[in-house]
Chains A and B, each alone.
Chain A
């Protein structure tokens, strides 16, 4: 226990200079910092939504109907007289939750898979990565739609289905990292000290591959959010009474001729969030000096 704590502290200290360096570089990238701020604001808003939303989520005023932005309703109301700002706040909660949770699912599967394949090497690696290659070739968008049709449209399945799609690239990145890391002396030292492979992967390999993992995670979240919005737009994702930005855009598109603000505001929310995530991801890639796998 004691030695473990000591080595944890040692690990942390070893990491500081690298992270500090990366932070200094990131700080100079104005777009990335703006992205980070917007993202943090979005997260805070999503967490505090029940407290700060100007109206109750299910409050409607049929007599009012759709109204353009006003003092009482900053972003206007929809055809049922529901406050658009409230809708966007609650929709954002779901959109962000899908983005983060599905990415987390992808992260866990991908890192485990890639680390094991890269560490084991040889035939295990060949079989595991061949499977990834095969899955890569599958048309996943079609499969997600199929899953949503067959098993009903529930949110949990959406998390899992999207997570199950996005882990592949993570696995490839992780495997590449582990392969190059395991040749190095500190891993050999750990092996000769008798550490189990699981411990080596957890304590030595994953922490050292954290840079690419962070960068790729930041870039996966927007693509997951986009996927959710895409499915919701088609009516195959988030279902009412819940809402998400994709669903709001879909409603907005139906009535945009008369009430364009119902399309523009949720669209703006989604686009700005995606923007900040992408800029932050690009900034992190430069700051951590990771060669992109995406482009």
Chain B
């Protein structure tokens, strides 16, 4: 198990390095310098600014210096807002996005998992069709459509829930969490149904039933662990998706999280900010993929031996 973890950790290093390198050079070759928009800057000021952002150094030295910064946990300053750094923005935005992501994942796993398991217990009956049709709607209804529709229905027509903000008014966390989580709930429902159906047809389930175990114990004690395996492996990629989804949900509901900062930085062409945030978000995603692989291996001993076999 430890070997598995260390191999996976080692594999994450080239990935992260690739992310950092590609992002760095992409941002550097981007057209338009950071000070182009300003009126004519006095040469001394420009030189001082370039020195501050290390633009006076040769490109490769800029790169190595940036790697050095990253190693000490420094993600860099902002081009557009002098004095603000990516670290500050992450400090402000991460807790919000993490909370939103957590609730969304909760919605996804609880609702999705429950729906999938319920559907799998009586396949090809109404108990199967109804949750699975809802899941199909969830998959085809993107968050940027579902969010506004929920706002329209529960916020504006019925006036049950607040339509924007995060933690200001009680209940304002409900709509964003559902909006972000529902698509994943749908996927998880399909995954867990398929996983459960496969497990429920296996010999050890028949043995458990033959032993005379009540059906709910067969399901909870024997089937769930294997049947929910696909869900666990899905959690890593889902995390990346949740982050991307938070770009939209945070924009719709005006939530001051990382995703909204990222989109704003993209719009402002705040290159250092984009660079820093990209590196940070990528690290998070790579780590979560790693975590979900490790969790999957922990739940499934057979996987532990297939070192480095991809997904």
Which A residues lie at the B interface, using CB under 8 A? Answer: 129, 132-134, 136-139, 141-143, 145-152, 172, 222, 226, 229-230, 233-236, 246, 249-250, 252-253, 256-257, 260, 263-264, 267, 270-271, 274-275, 278-279, 295
**Which residue of chain A has its CB nearest to the CB of B240?**
A139
Contact in complex: A270, B240 (CB < 8 Å) = no
Assuming the A-B contacts A139-B282, A295-B187, are A263 and B15 also in contact, with contact meaning beta carbons closer than 8 angstroms in the complex? Answer: no
Q: State whether A234 and B148 are in contact (beta carbons under 8 Å apart), knowing that A129-B310, A138-B282, A142-B278 are contacts in the complex.
A: no
CB-based contact A222/B30 at 8 Å: no
Distance in Å: Cβ of B96 to nearest Cβ of chain A: 18
Please state if B156 and A257 are interface contacts (CB–CB under 8 Å): yes
* B148, A139: Cβ atoms closer than 8 Å: no
Find out whether the CB atom of A271 lies under 8 angstroms from the CB atom of B152: no
Query: Are A138 and B144 touching (Cβ within 8 A)?
Result: no
Q: Is the C-beta of B141 less than 8 angstroms from some C-beta in chain A?
A: yes
Interface status of B140 (Cβ within 8 A of chain A): yes
Distance (whole angstroms) from the CB of A249 to the closest CB of chain B: 6
Given contacts A249-B144, A295-B190, 11 further A-B contacts (CB under 8 A): A139-B240, A142-B243, A233-B248, A234-B251, A236-B266, A270-B145, A271-B137, A271-B140, A274-B140, A278-B136, A295-B191
Chain A residues contacting B241 (CB-CB under 8 Å) are: 141
B247 within 8 Å of A (CB atoms): yes
Interface of B is mostly: helix
Indicate if the CB atoms of B282 and A233 lie closer than 8 Å: no
> Is B244 a contact of A229 with CB atoms below 8 Å?
no
**C-alpha gap A170/B148 in the complex (Å):** 34
* B18 shortest CB reach to chain A, Å: 7
CB atoms of B230 and A295 under 8 A apart = yes
B1-30 to A contact mask, C-beta < 8 Å, 1/0: 000000000011011001100110011011
On chain A, the residues within 8 Å of B22 by CB distance are: 143
Q: Is B171 an interface residue (CB 8 A)?
A: no
Question: Complex Cα distance A234/B310, Å?
Answer: 32
- Least Cβ–Cβ distance between A110 and chain B, in angstroms: 15
- Verify if B311 is at the interface (C-beta below 8 Å from A): yes
User: Known interface pairs A267-B149, A295-B187. Does A230 touch B142 (Cβ–Cβ under 8 Å)?
Assistant: yes
B247 touches A275 (CB 8 A): no
Whether A295 pairs with B282 at a CB distance below 8 angstroms is no
